[in-house]
Amino acid sequence: MKKPLIVQKFGGTSVGSIERIQNVAEQVIQAKLAGNRLVVVVSAMSGETNRLVELAKQIDSVPNAREFDVLLSTGEQVSMALLAMALSKLGHHSVSLTGHQAQIQTNNQHNHATISDINPQVIQRYLDDDLIVIVAGFQGVNALGDITTLGRGGSDTTAVTLAGALSADECQIYTDVAGVYTADPRIVVNARCLEKIDFTTMEVMSKKGAKVLHLPCVTYAGENDVPLRVLSSFESGPGTLVKGRDPEPGISGVALQKRLLAISMPLHQKPRIDQQIKLCGIEIDCQIMDGSDYTLIAQPDAIHRAISMLSDTVIEETQVGLVTVVGEITASLISQSQQLLNLAEISVLHFCEDKHSFTLVIDSEAIDKAANVLHDNYIITNITVSREEKLAYLG
Ligand code: ADP
Ligand code: ASP
Ligand code: MG
């Protein structure tokens, strides 16, 4: 019988120093000695991708997209080679592969590519030779043979797609927190680590700013039934299982996005604006129609691209933040949330509603406070209430 196959992914902080890489090597060896076959996906060492972005931007604020990918992909190549060396030093055989070597095929969308195909035979051959296979995250190759990257945070997507292509028994995403929390634990003091979260909720959380999992990774794993777990590489624990599609009733989490840009334009230009945004594939986080204004909110890079096309129509540009409540949404919940924030002296500029969430647009500086207020009201208070209810019921 074949040994179980596990795909493990280690993020930037988890491979952030030589000591951390040695630590990862020990964890990988432990999993191998426990009787598993291992494919290990690595990110660039923490800070490295940002350093490379900065270098490119010193030359051109909008660098050539193909060359930008050639540059950014080098970060992961450093990590994979160092991990292979660390494993070898500890007496274990491994092989490190770039996206190209692992035959990870993508479309042609430089800087935001989508994986279209993986030939599992290459990795399978090395696994059959009993090697630990290390794959560079975040990168692939297009039909022309050019290096592409999958968008920031894309190593998660490399890992789940490999797990799907290889029919792995589990995909484990190792990161710098204990699992998926009800909100970013670095910002929301009372955030709780979840034992389990469904794909529908996780997708909304990722889309609205919970960067613990890259959005395409969640979408792929959900659609292809990849068994997915998020864990800490710093401490042992069960982490969070991402499984099932049905959300729990009530509110599940709070997500936030800081330092976005909002641009307002005349509402009557909406059809032309929407068409151009779509044509250029610009990703918008929130659209608001208010009086005679049409406002678009997105990451600064996306807004700068939009402005370069729509400069004749832009009336105003401001920095904003978004805080999103994820779960079962009602009209009264939206108005109550606005009141809660007003009581905390945070003014709500706009709101937008989606199927499993609603988003409040506020000043970027007030985001942390707003996320704590909403989280504690909808998640912590509800837990307390249900505990009290349970006690009352038990007498
Ligand atoms: P990695 O380098 O391992 O890929 P990331 O920085 O991409 O790690 O993602 C982990 C970070 O995601 C955490 O340090 C945390 O600050 C942030 N985060 C945001 N929202 C959440 C959430 N709901 N649960 C857990 N972490 C979250
Ligand atoms: N190194 C890339 C980034 O920093 C990809 C990743 O870490 O997932 O975005
Ligand atoms: Mg990440």
pLDDT above 70 covers what percent of the chain? 96
Query: Is residue 126, in this structure, part of any structural domain at all?
Result: yes
155 in ligand 2 pocket by Cβ < 6 Å?
yes
Least-confidence region, from 222-226, 297-301, 388-392: 388-392
99 in ligand 1 pocket by Cβ < 6 Å?
no
Query: Is residue 216, in this structure, part of any structural domain at all?
Result: no
Question: What is the whole-number distance in angstroms between the Cα of residue 177 and the centre of ligand 1?
Answer: 7
Q: pLDDT-based confidence at 135, cuts 50/70/90?
A: very high
Q: How far is CA 204 from CA 66, 124, 214, 339, 355, in A?
A: 30, 34, 11, 24, 9
75 in ligand 2 pocket by Cβ < 6 Å?
yes
Residue 173 Cα: closest atom of ligand 1: 3
Mean pLDDT across 373-391: 71
**What pLDDT shows up at residue 392?**
53
In sequence order, what E strands does the chain have? 5-10, 37-42, 94-97, 104-106, 115-118, 132-136, 139-141, 147-149, 170-175, 196-197, 228-232, 240-242, 251-266, 286-290, 293-298, 316-327, 348-353, 357-362
N-term to C-term CA, the chain? 53
Do 27 and 118 lie in one domain? The reply is yes
CATH of the domain at 293: 3.30.2130.10
Query: Is residue 161, in this structure, part of any structural domain at all?
Result: yes
| Domain extent for 355 | 251-391
140 in ligand 2 pocket by Cβ < 6 Å?
no
Do 158 and 259 lie in one domain? The reply is no
Query: How do 293-298 and 286-290 pair as beta strands?
Result: antiparallel
153 in ligand 2 pocket by Cβ < 6 Å?
yes
Mean pLDDT across 227-241: 97
Whether 50 has a pLDDT exceeding 70, the answer reads yes
Least-confidence region, from 34-38, 75-79, 354-358: 354-358
Q: Which of 152, 187, 211, 323 to mutate to test the pocket of ligand 1 (most atoms within 8 A of CB)?
A: 211
Question: What is the whole-number distance in angstroms between the Cα of residue 392 and the centre of ligand 1?
Answer: 37
Mean pLDDT across 302-310: 82
**DSSP 3-state of 78:** helix
Query: Is residue 77, in this structure, part of any structural domain at all?
Result: yes
pLDDT above 90 covers what percent of the chain? 84
Residue 154 Cα: closest atom of ligand 2: 8
Domain boundary among 143, 175, 207: 175
**Nearest ligand by distance to the CA of 137:** 2
**What pLDDT shows up at residue 383?**
58
Give me the phi and psi of 289, to 5 degrees please: -110, 120
Query: At 217, which helix (H) or strand (E)?
Result: helix 215-224
Q: List CB-based neighbours of ion ligand 3 within 5 Å.
A: 11, 153
Query: Is residue 103, in this structure, part of any structural domain at all?
Result: yes
**What pLDDT shows up at residue 390?**
43
> 1 vs 222, which has greater pLDDT?
222
Whether 224 has a pLDDT exceeding 80, the answer reads yes
How buried is residue 227: exposed, middle or buried, by Cβ count under 10 Å (0-12/13-18/19+)?
middle
Question: What is the whole-number distance in angstroms between the Cα of residue 47 and the centre of ligand 2?
Answer: 9
Q: If you count them, how many residues does the chain have?
A: 395
Query: Is residue 385, in this structure, part of any structural domain at all?
Result: yes
**Nearest ligand by distance to the CA of 47:** 2
Count how many domains the chain has: 2
Mean pLDDT across 29-52: 98
**What pLDDT shows up at residue 382?**
64
Contacts of 355 (CB under 8 A, 6+ apart): none
Q: How far is CA 125 from CA 51, 120, 129, 199, 295, in A?
A: 35, 9, 6, 32, 52
d(CA 42, CA 75): 10
**What pLDDT shows up at residue 202?**
98
**What pLDDT shows up at residue 367?**
97
Query: Is residue 154, in this structure, part of any structural domain at all?
Result: yes
Encoded tokens for 192: 């709780």
Question: What is the whole-number distance in angstroms between the Cα of residue 155 and the centre of ligand 1?
Answer: 13
Query: Is residue 356, in this structure, part of any structural domain at all?
Result: yes
**What pLDDT shows up at residue 315?**
75
Domain boundary among 126, 155, 175: 175
Indicate the average pLDDT of the chain.
Answer: 93
Nearest to 93 by CA among 128, 121, 120: 128
**What pLDDT shows up at residue 247?**
93
Whether 381 has a pLDDT exceeding 90, the answer reads no
10 in ligand 2 pocket by Cβ < 6 Å?
no
d(CA 197, CA 108): 33
Whether 387 has a pLDDT exceeding 70, the answer reads no
99 in ligand 2 pocket by Cβ < 6 Å?
no
Do 280 and 167 lie in one domain? The reply is no
CB 247 within 8 A of CB 356: yes
> 308 vs 81, which has greater pLDDT?
81
Q: Which of 8, 15, 43 to mutate to test the pocket of ligand 2 (most atoms within 8 A of CB)?
A: 43
Whether 393 has a pLDDT exceeding 60, the answer reads no
CATH of the domain at 47: 3.40.1160.10
Domain boundary among 130, 160, 175: 175
The string of pLDDT tens digits covering residues 253-284 is 999 999 999 999 999 989 988 998 888 888 89
Residue 46 Cα: closest atom of ligand 1: 2
Amino acid at 350: H
pTM of structure: 0.93
